[in-house]
């Protein structure tokens, strides 16, 4: 009996210790502690995020202010000061390594020679007898300087003591200043990049055989917007493009519509320019001779003499050179060599 009484007392103490009220209080205390810890951490996180957002916002405001200040500074510089800075650019190396030269105008000559070899293999047609041209006064010679893109080239071109026709690339990241550089000349041309057969490094936005008339027109209109006073365009490379009838048909139609003149650099003997110029009633000028097939000075002089001979025979001639130092130096000293011809801009032929 006494033993049972002790068991009841012990059970009563346990029940008292684990009463519902006490359990509820313990759980409430635990939950409160957890809530306090979580609240503190959350507050710290929010505060940290707020600080970060505030510092980011301050940084962005500072950067925007710097950009606005720089824009105001550039806008405040007069136009002539900008041009003055452009003219003061430091000189750079002019003669390119031979491997680079092969990637530029020498690829045009290579394609032209290949096309001549292909034409020679075809069955020969009856010879067309050229009518004798009657002209008065001195024969005319127009010398075009292709691939003009940099200020060190225009400095030398300006030293040539007679009229030449520089042909400028449309601006790109590699040569962004061609618009301003072209303004230094009374007459200039556009050197229009077109698809070649073998040139592996075309200019950006080169005209391609597969381009639609809409794509071509967009390109020509953009160039016309950049160079509103320039009306004469000759092709850069383009052995594939100019030998494709459909592509040239689209381009010559655009040239007619935009009141522009196409000058055939003749980078291929298979050029379709003559027949399409005739189709659209356009006057066409074509290259008669490259003066720097080789950039040795003696050979350049030899080519210039050939250009004079062509002009004397026909009354006029079109020669194309490139802005290599040797080519430009020869032209600077070539006034006496060219005394028998009238050196004119291409538009004056």
What 3 state SS string does 84-108 have?
HHHHCCCCCCCCCCHHHHHHCHHHH
CA distances from 113 to 78, 315, 320 (A): 49, 26, 16
* Encoded tokens for 23: 């359990």
CATH number of 97-122+137-348: 3.20.20.370
CA distances from 8 to 5, 11, 22 (A): 5, 5, 21
pLDDT at position 86: 47
3-state class of 211 per DSSP? coil
Query: What is the per-residue pLDDT across 188-241, written as a single tens digit (0 to 9) for each?
Result: 999 999 999 987 789 999 999 999 999 999 999 999 999 999 999 999 999 999
For residues 137 and 114, what is the distance between their CA atoms, to the nearest angstrom? 37
- Identify the weakest region by mean pLDDT among 131-135, 142-146, 170-174, 287-291: 131-135
**In degrees rounded to 5, what are phi and psi of residue 190?**
-105, 130
pLDDT at position 137: 85
pLDDT at position 68: 73
Mode of pairing for the β-strands spanning 261-264 and 165-168: unpaired
Would the pLDDT of 252 be above 90? yes
For residues 95 and 5, what is the distance between their CA atoms, to the nearest angstrom? 118
Mean pLDDT confidence for 115-137: 61
Query: What is the per-residue pLDDT across 259-310, written as a single tens digit (0 to 9) for each?
Result: 999 999 999 999 999 999 999 999 999 999 999 999 999 999 999 999 999 9
pLDDT at position 176: 97
Q: Which residue has the higher pLDDT, 84 or 141?
A: 141
Would the pLDDT of 181 be above 80? yes
Task: Please tell me the total number of residues recorded for the chain in this structure.
Answer: 349
Q: pLDDT exceeding 70 applies to what percent of the chain?
A: 65
Q: Which of 315, 338, 325 is nearest to 292 (CA)?
A: 325
End-to-end CA distance of the chain: 140
Q: Which of 335, 345, 338 is nearest to 309 (CA)?
A: 338
Let me know: does 293 contact 102? Beta carbons within 8 Å.
Answer: no
Q: At how many degrees (to 10) do helices 245-257 and 213-226 cross? A: 40
Mean pLDDT confidence for 303-326: 98
Q: Which residue has the higher pLDDT, 1 or 349?
A: 349
- Supply angle C-alpha 291, 293, 299, rounded to 5: 70
Mean pLDDT confidence for 138-165: 98
pLDDT at position 201: 86
Q: Which of 282, 241, 265 is nearest to 318 (CA)?
A: 265
* Encoded tokens for 176: 């962004």
Would the pLDDT of 92 be above 90? no
pLDDT at position 323: 97
Q: Return the exposure string of 207-241: e unless at least 16 CB atoms fall within 10 Å of the residue's CB, then b.
A: bbeebeeeebbebbeebbeebeebbbbbbbbbbbb
Query: What is the per-residue pLDDT across 28-83, written as a single tens digit (0 to 9) for each?
Result: 666 666 666 555 555 565 555 554 555 556 666 766 767 677 666 666 655 545 55
For residues 134 and 172, what is the distance between their CA atoms, to the nearest angstrom? 44
Let me know: does 287 contact 265? Beta carbons within 8 Å.
Answer: yes
């Amino acid at each position: 009996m006494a033993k049972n009484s002790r068991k009841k007392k012990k059970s009563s103490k346990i029940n008292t210790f684990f009463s519902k009220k006490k359990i509820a209080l313990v759980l409430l205390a635990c939950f409160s502690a957890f809530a306090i810890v979580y609240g503190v951490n959350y507050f710290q996180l929010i505060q940290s995020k707020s600080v970060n957002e505030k510092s980011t916002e301050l940084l962005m405001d500072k950067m925007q202010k710097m950009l606005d200040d720089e824009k105001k500074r550039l806008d405040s510089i007069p136009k002539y000061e900008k041009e003055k800075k452009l003219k003061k650019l430091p000189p750079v190396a002019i003669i390119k390594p031979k491997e680079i030269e092969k990637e530029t105008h020498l690829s045009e000559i290579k394609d032209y020679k290949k096309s001549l070899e292909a034409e020679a293999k075809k069955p020969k047609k009856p010879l067309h007898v050229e009518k004798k041209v009657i002209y008065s006064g001195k024969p005319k010679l127009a010398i075009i300087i292709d691939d003009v893109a940099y200020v060190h080239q225009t400095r030398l071109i300006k030293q040539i003591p007679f009229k030449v026709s520089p042909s400028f690339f449309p601006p790109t990241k590699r040569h962004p200043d061609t618009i301003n550089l072209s303004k230094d000349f009374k007459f200039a041309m556009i050197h229009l990049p077109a698809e070649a057969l073998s040139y592996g490094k075309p200019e950006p936005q080169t005209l391609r055989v597969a381009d639609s008339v809409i794509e071509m027109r967009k390109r020509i209109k953009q160039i016309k917007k950049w160079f509103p006073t320039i009306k004469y365009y000759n092709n850069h490379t383009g052995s594939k493009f100019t030998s494709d009838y459909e592509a040239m048909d689209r381009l010559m139609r655009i040239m007619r519509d935009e009141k522009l003149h196409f000058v055939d650099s003749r980078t291929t003997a298979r050029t379709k320019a003559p027949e399409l110029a005739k189709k659209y009633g356009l006057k066409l000028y074509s290259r008669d001779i490259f003066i720097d097939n080789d950039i040795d000075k003696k050979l350049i002089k030899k080519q210039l003499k050939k250009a004079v001979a062509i002009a004397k025979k026909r009354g006029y001639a079109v020669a194309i050179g490139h802005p290599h130092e040797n080519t430009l130096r020869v032209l600077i000293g070539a006034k006496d060599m060219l005394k028998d011809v009238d050196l004119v801009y291409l538009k004056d032929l």
